[in-house]
Amino acid sequence: MSHPLVIANPAAGRGHSAGAIEALLAAVRERIGEVDLVVSARPGHTAELARGAAAAGRDLVVALGGDGTVHEVANGLLAEGPPAGPALAILAVGTGSDFGRSLGLAHDTAVYLDALGAGRRRIVDVGRGVFTGTDGHAAECYWVNVLSAGIGGLVDRYVAALPDRLGGRPAYMLATLAALAACRRRRLVCRATLGDGATIEREFEGFAVAVCNGHTFGGGMRIAPGALVDDGLFDVVTIERRSRVTMLKDFASVYSGTHLAKRGVGHFACRHLELTPSTPAGAGRVFPLDVDGEPLGDVPLTVDVVPAALTVLA
């Protein structure tokens, strides 16, 4: 039987993870014995490596990196369709590391290693999204934690432009403040299928929509505090018709999860969602996507819950 495979992304954590790979690998071997290591060399490479691990019949793949690494590895494991064969373990060293938080794992190396050593397996849902890619053509992917449109997509761009010396939470806080200042409201048509099969359609004007499988994004923001990764539903949070001044004033409430009680914040659960601009976008009027912390495209967007698609160690 083949060993577990560790897929390491040296670019994770704003490049700070490269020097820690050997020490972390030694700690992994202390917990679970011999493992194989592969190191990604370029964007998208971790997905290829994970797809190869699934094709080779590996039982366990360890993603050593951030949420972007986990996103790519999960897509590789699910490349032949759900449910994924290998289980996924997380050794988070990234800027946000929010999927682990959504699984109940504190962002601490010892916690990830303990979960790996304990070997407790949990089956979780994933999302499947179809949207406009960055090249203007149709694109699709799976996602494990949170997909957001509007402010979130701008945050990704600003985080990437900040100095590498900034840690995860400071980087996300500064980027979010910059995105709040730059983002423009968009009028969107939202069509959703609820958990009971009922359908709704409504038009709204807002700064952001977050479609949540997990409950935390942006380096610890509790955007959907009630979301569960294994209930077969998305929690959808909309930020509507609110001034930038009001959003800045209420910014801290996202970390506590109390923002859902604020005026202009909507919340509902569904298993299918479509977001479409109600009018054609003019110059500069984009509503960019953040998919598991990665800037992958724009609306129009269609997402579906894929229940019980992925086994994780948590």
Domain 127-308 has CATH 2.60.200.40: yes
Lowest mean pLDDT among 22-36, 92-106, 137-151, 260-274: 92-106
241's tokens: 């018709």
Lowest mean pLDDT among 20-24, 46-50, 60-64: 20-24
Taking residues 265-270, what's their average pLDDT?
95
| Selection from 154, 35, 38, 20 nearest residue 93 by Cα | 20
Inform me whether the pLDDT recorded for 15 exceeds 80: no
The tens digit of pLDDT for each residue in 87-102 reads 999 998 866 689 999 9
The CATH class, in words, for 5-119 is alpha beta
Q: What is the pTM of this model?
A: 0.90
Report the pLDDT value the prediction gives residue 284, as an integer from 0 to 100: 46
- 262-294 as b/e, with b when 16 or more CB fall inside 10 Å? eebbeebbbbebbbebeeeeeeeebbbbbbbbb
CA distance 73 to 206: 32
What are the backbone angles phi and psi of residue 245, rounded to the nearest 5°?
-60, -45
Inform me whether the pLDDT recorded for 262 exceeds 70: yes
Taking residues 224-231, what's their average pLDDT?
96
| Selection from 124, 143, 141 nearest residue 307 by Cα | 124
292's tokens: 């598991």
CA distance 215 to 255: 11
7's tokens: 């897929």
Report the pLDDT value the prediction gives residue 164, as an integer from 0 to 100: 62
Inform me whether the pLDDT recorded for 143 exceeds 90: yes
Taking residues 114-122, what's their average pLDDT?
96
**Which has more pLDDT, 185 or 9?**
9
Confidence of residue 2 (pLDDT cuts 50, 70, 90): confident
Inform me whether the pLDDT recorded for 158 exceeds 80: no
Contacts of 213 (CB under 8 A, 6+ apart): 102, 124, 125, 126, 127, 143, 144, 145, 146, 227, 229, 234, 305
Inform me whether the pLDDT recorded for 242 exceeds 70: no
Report the pLDDT value the prediction gives residue 283, as an integer from 0 to 100: 46
Taking residues 76-96, what's their average pLDDT?
90
272's tokens: 């299918």
Inform me whether the pLDDT recorded for 105 exceeds 60: yes
Report the pLDDT value the prediction gives residue 181, as an integer from 0 to 100: 72
The tens digit of pLDDT for each residue in 173-209 reads 777 777 777 777 888 999 999 999 999 999 988 888 9
* Pairing mode of beta strands 294-313, 288-291: antiparallel
Taking residues 61-83, what's their average pLDDT?
95
**What letter does residue 4 receive in the DSSP assignment?**
P
Average pLDDT of the residues of the chain: 88
Inform me whether the pLDDT recorded for 54 exceeds 90: yes
Confidence of residue 80 (pLDDT cuts 50, 70, 90): very high
Inform me whether the pLDDT recorded for 129 exceeds 90: yes
Furthest C-alpha separation in the chain = 58
- Name the residue ranges covered by the structural domains of the chain: 5-119, 127-308
Residue 62 DSSP SS3: strand
Inform me whether the pLDDT recorded for 225 exceeds 80: yes
